[in-house]
């Protein structure tokens, strides 16, 4: 419990839009995004920084917003899934996830896509191993990861204008062996 007097005024830019908000010091960033700004695309999975469902970009770096305080975002830029592409124009990562069937229930997907976005921004030509390592902070229970890996590789290729020929129809990638 905190009094209103304890609230902090912060300014956070979310998906390019600045927001000036009053928050309790203990408010988690994920709750500011989901409840305060009603951006519900960022999901809460485990509360313990393990599953990565709540991953957002913090000045371009993936962070788990369930274990970050909203006040820590003061003066920073946050990107959520709602800011990844627009309704009409998808980001290559979003396209890749659909084309390669990189999602099933969709719950881990926003966090997975934002991690992937940072990954291929920093490493435009990732190997399969790079992708598997880069995504290892995000858990998925549905897909077995293989199609997620393909989706990220597809997105990396799309970034270069080399759209992969694979379309999820019976193709396989080798996996980490």
Site for other proteins in 87-126 (CB under 8 A): 87, 90, 94, 97-99, 101, 103-110, 113
When asked if residue 165 is in the footprint of other proteins (CB under 8 A), the reply is: no
Minimum CB separation from other proteins for residue 177, in Å?
6
Our CB check for other proteins shows the closer of 12 and 117 to be 117
Our CB check for other proteins shows the closer of 43 and 75 to be 43
Q: What count of Cα atoms within 13 Å lies in the side-chain half-sphere of residue 129?
A: 2
Quick one: which segment of 4-12, 71-79, 136-144, 156-164 binds other proteins (CB under 8 A)?
A: 136-144
Our CB check for other proteins shows the closer of 41 and 62 to be 41
When asked if residue 162 is in the footprint of other proteins (CB under 8 A), the reply is: no
When asked if residue 164 is in the footprint of other proteins (CB under 8 A), the reply is: no
- By CB under 8 A, name the one of 149, 153, 156, 157 that touches other proteins: 149
Instruction: Sort 129 into a burial class: Cβ within 10 Å, 0-12 / 13-18 / 19+.
Output: exposed
Site for other proteins in 54-73 (CB under 8 A): none
Task: Report yes or no: 53 and 63 within 8 Å, Cβ to Cβ.
Answer: no
- By CB under 8 A, name the one of 74, 85, 164, 166 that touches other proteins: 85
- Closest C-alpha among 99, 153, 161, 144 to residue 125: 153
Which spans of this chain sit near other proteins (rule: CB under 8 A)? Answer: 1, 24, 26-27, 34, 38-48, 50-51, 53, 80-82, 84-85, 87, 90, 94, 97-99, 101, 103-110, 113, 131-133, 135-149, 167-170, 172-177
């Amino acid at each position: 419990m905190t009094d209103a007097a304890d609230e902090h005024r912060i300014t956070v830019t979310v998906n390019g839009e600045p927001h000036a908000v009053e928050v309790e010091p203990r408010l988690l960033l994920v709750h500011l995004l989901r409840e305060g700004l009603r951006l519900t695309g960022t999901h809460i999975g485990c509360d313990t920084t393990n599953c990565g469902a709540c991953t957002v970009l913090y000045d371009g770096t993936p962070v788990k917003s369930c274990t970050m305080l909203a006040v820590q975002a003061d003066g920073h830029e946050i990107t959520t899934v709602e800011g990844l592409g627009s309704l009409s124009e998808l980001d290559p990562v979003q396209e890749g996830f659909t084309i390669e069937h990189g999602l099933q229930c969709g719950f881990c997907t926003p966090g997975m896509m934002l991690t992937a976005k940072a990954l291929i921004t920093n490493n435009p030509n990732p190997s399969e191993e790079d992708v598997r390592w880069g995504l290892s902070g995000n858990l998925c229970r549905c897909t077995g990861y293989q199609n997620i890996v393909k989706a990220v590789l597809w997105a990396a290729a799309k970034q270069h204008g080399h759209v992969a020929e694979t379309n999820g129809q019976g193709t396989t990638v080798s996996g980490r062996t």
